[in-house]
Amino acid sequence: MNPAPDQARRRRALIVDDDPVLRIAIQQFIARQGFDTQVAENGQLGADAFAAHGADLVLLDGAMPVMDGFAACAAIRRLPEGHHVPIIMITVFEDDGSVDRAFAAGADEYITKPIHWAVLRNRVHHLVNAAGATRQLRNDRAFFQSLVDGGEVAGTDDDIGVGGELGQPGCLLEVTVEVAEGEDAHGGTLALGRFEQFEPDLAAGGEGR
């Protein structure tokens, strides 16, 4: 569970808008926020670009030729890598139906044009940081599940059941959640150390039980 590769690369943003002037303006603005950028001029090209290259953030216009932003949002959400990516709709539509349609398609935020750049900046950083924390939580859970599945943490089903106190049945789950919520960059090592503190026999592979 080493976060270094993910942190070493720059975050990538995909900007999809058929207006070339606004597309360039958004691209330059997002680049100043520390992102590498990729652009597309309609929803179909945007969905294809995401499928090919992925992204850490997607910004979609609503009204576009070939495929509009609402359909592109839904298409990206159906992709394996698109389940959790932050998606911001940026559109001229202000009616309730368009807002409802965007969120039903999977959008995380809805910003109307003309763009309030300070609002966009804060929405971008909030969503990307929240997505990063959620991704780390998923990685932590996967790490501990791999320990259990690989036999590195031994014990009976009762030893790793749900609902126990620390040092009692269920302690592995308790430690995992505790570390994940603390956003510790070395969560796997720290959590295993805590686990050894409370259940040394289990952490050592069940010897002495």
pLDDT over threshold 50, residue 76: yes
Per the confidence metrics, is the pTM higher than 0.95?
no
- Which pLDDT score, from 0 to 100, does residue 123 have? 96
| pLDDT tens digits for range 96-132 | 999 999 999 999 999 999 999 999 999 999 999 998 8
Query: Domain map of the chain by residue range?
Result: 4-132, 153-203
Task: Kindly report, residue by residue over 138-186, the tens digit of the pLDDT.
Answer: 777 777 777 777 765 544 444 444 444 434 444 444 444 344 444 444 4
CATH number of 4-132: 3.40.50.2300
Judged by average pLDDT, the poorest of 20-24, 44-48, 186-190 is: 186-190
At a CB cut-off of 8 Å and minimum separation 6, what does 92 contact? 62, 63, 112, 113
